[in-house]
Amino acid sequence: MSSVNLTLYTLFTHKLKLSEADAKDFMDAIKEEVRNDIKYENSDFKSAIREDFLKLELKMEQNKSELKNEIKDSFKWFIGMFITIVLMMMGLYATILLK
């Protein structure tokens, strides 16, 4: 028995004046109840974490689609600016060559 179990056992036998068998049964019942409570809290915690991960995954998918749209828009601007700069350079060369 661990020190906590011994403390409970002595408390039940001396203070509550239970028989040894009753004290052991009472101690086992308390231990089982604590274990069940811990299991229940762990399962609640796991389900809460699972829900949080699902929300996070959904948000990541939304961000991924927004990022794809931003990349498309940026690429369009890049192409537009590139074409404009090339036309400006061709115009400058044309003015120099046609002079």
What DSSP letter does each residue of 2-64 carry, written as one string?
-HHHHHHHHIIIIIS---HHHHHHHHHHHHHHHHHHHHHHHHHHHHHHHHHHHHHHHHHHHHH
Instruction: Decide which of 70 and 30 is more confident.
Output: 70
Residue 2 binned pLDDT confidence (cut-offs 50, 70, 90): low
Domain spans of the chain, in order of start: 3-70
Q: Does the predicted TM-score (pTM) go above 0.75?
A: no
- Per-residue pLDDT of 34-93, as tens digits, reads 787 777 777 777 777 888 888 999 999 999 999 999 999 999 999 999 999 999 999 999
Residue at 18: amino acid letter: L
Tokens for 41, please give them. 């809290």
